[in-house]
Amino acid sequence: MLLFLARRVGQTIPTLLFVSLLIFGLQQLMPGDPALILAGEERGDPTVLAQIRAELNLDKPLPVQYGLWLWGVLQGDLGFSWRIREPIAEVIAQKLPVTLQLGLMAFVIAVFIGIPLGILSAVKKDTPLDWGANAVGLAGLSLPNFWLGIMMILFFSVQLGWLPPSGYVPLSEDWRQSLATTIMPAFVLGSGIAAVFMRHMRSAMLQAMGQDYVRTARAKGLGERVVVLKHALRNALVPVVTLGALELGTLLSGAVLTEQVFTIPGFGKLIVDAVFNRDYPVVQGVVLVTATLYILLNLIADVLYVLINPRLRHA
Amino acid sequence: MPDGAVIAAPAVAARGESPARRAFRRLLRHRAAMFGLAVVLAFIAIAVLAPLIAPYDPARTNWAAIRKPPSELFWFGTDENGRDILSRVIWGARASLLAGVVSVAIALAAGVPVGLAAGFLGGRVDALISRFTDAMLACPFLILAIALAAFLGPALENAMIAIGISATPIFIRLARGATMAVKVEDYVEAARGLGNPRWRVAVRHILPNIVPPLLVQATLAIASAIIAEASLSFLGLGQQPPAPSWGSMLNTAQRFMEQAPWMAIFPGLSIFTVVLAFNLLGDGLRDALDPREQG
Amino acid sequence: MSFRRTLLAAAALVAAAVAAAPVSAQTLRIGLREDPDIMDPTLARTFVGRIVFASLCDKLFDIDKDLNIVPQLATGYRWEDPKTLIITLREGVKFHDGETMDAAAVVYSLNRHLTMQGSFRRGEINSMEKAEAVNPTTVRVTLKEPFAPFLAQLTDRSGMVVSPKAAEAAGAQFGTRPVCAGPFRFVERVAQDRIVVERFADYWDKGRIHIDRIIYQPIPDDTVRLANLQAGSLELVQTIGTNDVATVQRNNRLRISMSDELGYQGLTINIGNGARAQTPLGQNAKVRQALDLAIDRATINQVVYNGMFTPTWQAVPPSSPYHVKSLTPPTRDVARARALLREAGVQAPVKIVLTVPNNPELRQVGEVIQAMAAEAGFEITLNAMEFASSLQAATRGEFEAYLLAWSGRTDPDGNLWTFVHSRGPQNDGKYSNPEVDRLLDAARVETDLEKRVALYEQMYKHAVVEDRSRLYLWHRKNIVAHTARLTGFVNVPDGLIRVQDLRLAN
């Protein structure tokens, strides 16, 4: 196991290098000139454009630009945002806790709704309960987040006045206010993912319940509960773990639309603004962080596979 | 190791009937699946026959009837430009079904073989593929979409490619995880022990057993793809106005949630119905393909 | 379902605990449409940033609701000659750091705007040759050549005076802690979340300030911004959509206030910028005239904006003294449009690609124009583009027609020269007419209002009536909504939220 972990950590550095090159290349493929955007109303003036390009090293050859950026990163300097002129490390440090909180809350909500409903609909397959759970779950998936979000704001904030309509209060400042500002967006995000968990859980449970050892366990006269929980559930979890890692990764790289509706100052808005404004260093910095998150989460998933099914260790 | 493992080895179970045939026969008997299939076929028919069944031209504006609620004249009401929403939902089925199904098919076709290879071969191949997948996952979809919009220009096919590419890593991960779990099962090890070539083991023994999670994900991904098409059309990929798609109808409706809720309800319901139908069909397929179930 | 219910119940419990959180009655919470950029008057670019500056940084001059230039940190001005401006300053004005605002500080600030690296003010005041302090309360500004709009520039960010001591100390980071001479001083900023300012005790005009603290909150979604106002989590919102005006008017706890915006929306047409200009639309004024006649401005206004905007045929709104009254937009005439196309000798349908920004309202405008123009024999393809891509496309001439919104400037020069003059930095269609250039240049140095308006009137005759170089469509409105508890708000056409005289009742 230790060797496995060491190997995986060793793979992280080349992966991050590859990601940063990929992003750097893709950004060059996008139309849109950062200098034009930064010049604003002076964009017709070639001297202004030249000055901006010189200041941001945009006049240098691409490999040099990438090299300069990489050199900075190796020294622990992610650089400055071209648009808001703040150090990128600071901006990320400001947004990351927000997105972590919102993402984890949404994930917990999704797990607590999706997993039990999935098990229930597998055990009660082809009953009204199964159909109902599926319909509700898929409705959650088909509803666009902005629609559910705005409906919740109109109902809970404007009609009932229970929750603040938007904004964000950090956990460290006032945990109750913080929960109040994040519960609605977390629910909106979680409801869609709950459907994914539920569907996968159901299918995986059905597959597992058909396995020989479950049949054997049943034949031995073990109670249905034990069969379901101890035997079927374990193996059924593999696709759910895969999806869990991916969905959590998506959540932690920021949920643009939901953040926008609830005005949560998180990663999603940061990256979208950066892409739209061609704020290349911010995009590069954020992607490095998300890539690290994905690598970490997928590593956790791989470890979980082995914990769930010890036979995988030999493979 | 009990011999039964080999006998229970599902996909090779020979009872004088090919597995595909048996699955098909069982699918036909699956009521929910047949209902799902009927709905999907109905929507396909609607999309194909749109010119014949739509009551109005979906692009015909009527400045005197903007944002009118459903009535005898306009069953689903009218939109912000006075266009008939029923006709737009009917015509929008074309773009949305294509966007949903084709992009998921692209992602399946690209993701499953790669994921299967990673999970089955393991080692360096797996490391390379998995780290590449991590990189793809971390790359913001928006950048890809804008770059593609610039190179390919506005067309529905290009939106499908973009969505397909972005959904691929999920299928890679899913196929890989499922393959890893299946390949240590007794019947696979037995098949390998019998000296079957690796590709044969992968295709005949592993693939059929990793289908269920892929099927589930594919039916779910259709919903996201339909919704994603609309955001892409705003970036200059995908369907351009005035041609309708369900996703873009929903997007437009966002500005009028309080004044004209019907603008969101009908395209939303259509997406829901189609996704539900695909899921029912998927469940049926799953049951039919499940080698252990008798019948 | 029970999970949902439990969650909702939990949410309600949390909410009940929170709803009572006290907010000082004298805190004013303002909802902005987007997050401002850097809060340094020299480097700032965005419109919403100007709204925040209205409480932080006083300017040499201001404009009133009839667009007259009125003194603020200055007490008056006179032109010694067309190239020399004498500005007299108010005495006893303090910066937030306690330093005195004097002629030296004004000279420092003007030079900073003109020379600092990355300055966005340079283009506004580059006609300035030098500024010098005659005595502590008098500044003499010398221009390179006469430039009528100069004074108007000093009513915006170019006229903001910063504390030289703080600016020197902070350098390029000044925007993270701006120190000016406005009624409020900077407290903190959390990017994309809020900017907090609090009342400055030594403000020179403190008798007119009745609010203790202002929190600016960017809330991009129109519906959500309004929901915050309805729920009482905001006291004022910068703009609301035209669709929501009726909702606010029905609510007796809310008030609405509208004024004409200083800018316009219109169609930029590629006339001389590269290969894409070689279209019937780009090369033949008759085809452009036909398109102009095919568009029904009043109907678009009704359909998209609930009839709240002002259809136009020029660059400045009726509220401006520079509005040319004789110039009224043409009424739709499809038959005449078709005839013009025949005269032009082009084959209908005339194909046009119209680039629209990825903004839902402008996209709808594009769809309406598409439908209207089709009736007159045009076949318009809409091309939605995200902003940065469209900017590059516009600059490089990779467009045929481009639907564009311009927020506007106090002086008409900022709406016209920049866009219409052959050397104008935002003349993306590269329209070029020597007579128009001559008239625009003449208007730049003309200080007499009536003579200047006459020059613009002549200019429009060529650029709009004859050449249809650009199709002006309408002027938008600044629609501010606020709680009925707030009084004293004056809606000036520049769309800023001035904090003087605002009172908040309990």
Please determine, for residue C20, whether its predicted confidence score (pLDDT) is greater than 60.
no
Tell me the C-alpha distance between B153 and B175, whole Å.
32
| Same domain, residue pair C206 and C153 | no
Instruction: List the 403-422 stretch of C: residues with Cβ below 8 A of A.
Output: 418
In-domain check, residue C447: yes
In-domain check, residue C52: no
Higher pLDDT, B232 or C15: B232
Cross-strand pairs, C354: C382, C401
pLDDT band (50, 70, 90) for residue C218: very high
Tell me the C-alpha distance between C32 and C192, whole Å.
10
pLDDT band (50, 70, 90) for residue C229: very high
Interface test with A, best of B131, B144, B214, B215 (most A CBs within 10 A): B131
Q: Measure the N-to-C terminal CA separation of chain A; round to a whole number of Å.
A: 12
pLDDT tens for A197-207 read 999 988 888 87
The nearest CA of chain A is from the CA of B129 a distance in Å of 11
Longest dimension (CA), chain B: 78
The nearest CA of chain B is from the CA of C137 a distance in Å of 52
Average pLDDT of the residues in C418-431: 92
| Same domain, residue pair C303 and C254 | no
Residue C492: DSSP 8-state: -
Instruction: List the 46-105 stretch of A: residues with Cβ below 8 A of C.
Output: 48, 51-52, 55, 83-86, 91, 94
Average pLDDT of the residues in B59-84: 91
pLDDT tens for A208-252 read 777 666 666 666 666 666 666 666 676 678 888 888 999 999 898
Rounded (10°) angle between helices B207-234 and A233-252: 20
Residue A172: DSSP 8-state: T
Q: Look at residue A209 in the predicted model and tell me its pLDDT.
A: 74
CA distance to B13, B200, B292, per residue, from B10 (Å):
5, 15, 6
Q: Look at residue A315 in the predicted model and tell me its pLDDT.
A: 46
List the chains bordering chain C where 3 or more Cβ pairs fall under 8 Å.
A, B
Please determine, for residue C401, whether its predicted confidence score (pLDDT) is greater than 80.
yes
Please determine, for residue B11, whether its predicted confidence score (pLDDT) is greater than 60.
no
Dihedral angle, C-alpha A121, A122, A128, A132, nearest 10 °: 30
Could you give the percent of chain B with pLDDT greater than 70? 93
Among the partner residues B81, B236, B251, nearest to C383 by beta-carbon distance: B236
| Same domain, residue pair C197 and C302 | no
- Asked if C357 contacts C330 with a C-beta cutoff of 8 angstroms, the reply is no
Q: Quick check: C122 and A42 CB within 8 A?
A: yes
State whether residue C385 sits within 8 Å of chain B by CB.
Answer: yes
| Same domain, residue pair C81 and C163 | yes
CA distance to B113, C69, C76, per residue, from C72 (Å):
71, 10, 9
What mean pLDDT is reported for chain C?
A: 91
Number of neighbouring beta carbons within 10 Å of residue C24: 10
Interface test with A, best of C45, C47, C126, C192 (most A CBs within 10 A): C192
Give contacts of B286 with chain A, Cβ < 8 Å. 203, 206-207
| Same domain, residue pair C250 and C289 | no
pLDDT tens for C41-84 read 998 888 899 999 999 999 999 999 889 999 999 999 999 998 99
Give the CATH number, domain containing residue C365: 3.10.105.10
Residue A231: DSSP 8-state: I
Q: Quick check: A30 and C389 CB within 8 A?
A: yes
Q: Look at residue A214 in the predicted model and tell me its pLDDT.
A: 62
Tell me the C-alpha distance between C478 and B294, whole Å.
70
CB-defined contacts A:C, below 8 A = 166
In-domain check, residue C50: no
CA distance to A27, A33, A58, C129, per residue, from A62 (Å):
11, 14, 8, 39
What mean pLDDT is reported for chain B?
A: 85
> Which residues have a Cβ under 8 Å from the Cβ of B106 and sit 6 or more positions away?
B160, B161, B163, B164, B165, B167, B168
pLDDT tens for A23-68 read 998 888 888 888 888 877 677 778 778 888 888 889 999 999 999 9
Rounded (10°) angle between helices B85-121 and B156-183: 40
Across the beta sheet with C74-81, what order do the strands follow? C74-81, C84-89, C138-143, C128-135
The nearest CA of chain B is from the CA of C243 a distance in Å of 8
| Same domain, residue pair C289 and C406 | yes
Q: Look at residue C55 in the predicted model and tell me its pLDDT.
A: 97
| Same domain, residue pair C104 and C231 | no
Domain of residue C471, residue span = 264-475
| Same domain, residue pair C416 and C335 | yes
Q: Is C328 exposed, middle or buried (0-12, 13-18, 19+ CB in 10 A)?
A: exposed
**Which range (B204-218, C78-92, C332-346) has the least confidence?**
B204-218
Please determine, for residue B226, whether its predicted confidence score (pLDDT) is greater than 80.
yes
Cite the beta strand spans of C104-253 per DSSP E: 128-135, 138-143, 184-190, 194-199, 213-218, 236-237
State whether residue B150 sits within 8 Å of chain C by CB.
Answer: yes
In-domain check, residue C248: yes
In-domain check, residue C18: yes
Among the partner residues A30, A142, A305, nearest to B143 by beta-carbon distance: A30
| Same domain, residue pair C282 and C347 | yes
Higher pLDDT, B63 or C144: C144
pLDDT band (50, 70, 90) for residue C378: very high
In-domain check, residue C449: yes
- All domains of chain B in start order, with CATH: 92-279 (1.10.3720.10)
Give the CATH number, domain containing residue C199: 3.40.190.10
Interface test with B, best of A12, A27, A30 (most B CBs within 10 A): A30
pLDDT band (50, 70, 90) for residue C7: very low
List the chains bordering chain A where 3 or more Cβ pairs fall under 8 Å.
B, C
Average pLDDT of the residues in B181-190: 80
Give contacts of C299 with chain B, Cβ < 8 Å. 63
Among the partner residues C363, C386, C389, nearest to B241 by beta-carbon distance: C363
- Asked if B126 contacts A290 with a C-beta cutoff of 8 angstroms, the reply is no
In-domain check, residue C379: yes
**Which range (B283-287, C215-219, C262-266) has the least confidence?**
B283-287
pLDDT band (50, 70, 90) for residue A313: low
**Which range (B50-54, C390-394, C436-440) has the least confidence?**
C390-394
In-domain check, residue C94: yes
Apex C436 CA angle, C434 and C438, nearest 5: 70
Tell me the backbone φ, ψ of residue C263, rounded to 5 degrees.
-100, -155
Q: Quick check: A143 and B292 CB within 8 A?
A: no
Helix (H, G, I), strand (E, B) or coil at C354: strand
Interface test with C, best of B249, B255, B256 (most C CBs within 10 A): B255
Could you give the percent of chain C with pLDDT greater than 90? 75
Q: Look at residue A134 in the predicted model and tell me its pLDDT.
A: 86
Distance, C-alpha B23 to centroid of its chain: 21
Q: Quick check: C38 and A84 CB within 8 A?
A: yes
Domain boundary among C135, C167, C199: C167
Q: Is C92 exposed, middle or buried (0-12, 13-18, 19+ CB in 10 A)?
A: exposed
Longest dimension (CA), chain C: 80
| Same domain, residue pair C308 and C270 | yes
Q: Look at residue A220 in the predicted model and tell me its pLDDT.
A: 67
Residue of A nearest to C424 (CA): A44
Q: Look at residue A125 in the predicted model and tell me its pLDDT.
A: 84
| Same domain, residue pair C312 and C420 | yes
Please determine, for residue B254, whether its predicted confidence score (pLDDT) is greater than 80.
yes
**Residue among A53, B241, A246, B176 at smallest CA distance from C403:** B241
Among the partner residues B132, B144, B216, nearest to A200 by beta-carbon distance: B216
Please determine, for residue C391, whether its predicted confidence score (pLDDT) is greater than 90.
no
Average pLDDT of the residues in C120-149: 93
| Same domain, residue pair C253 and C400 | no
Tokens standing for residue C199? 């009342």
pLDDT tens for A160-191 read 889 998 888 888 888 999 999 999 999 999 98
Give the gyration radius of chain A's Cα atoms: 24
pLDDT tens for C260-315 read 999 999 999 999 999 999 999 999 999 999 999 999 999 999 999 999 999 999 99
**Number of independent structural domains in chain C:** 3
Task: Give the 3-state secondary structure of C287-304.
Answer: HHHHHHHHCCHHHHHHHH
Residue of A nearest to C230 (CA): A158
Q: Look at residue B291 in the predicted model and tell me its pLDDT.
A: 62
Average pLDDT of the residues in A6-23: 87
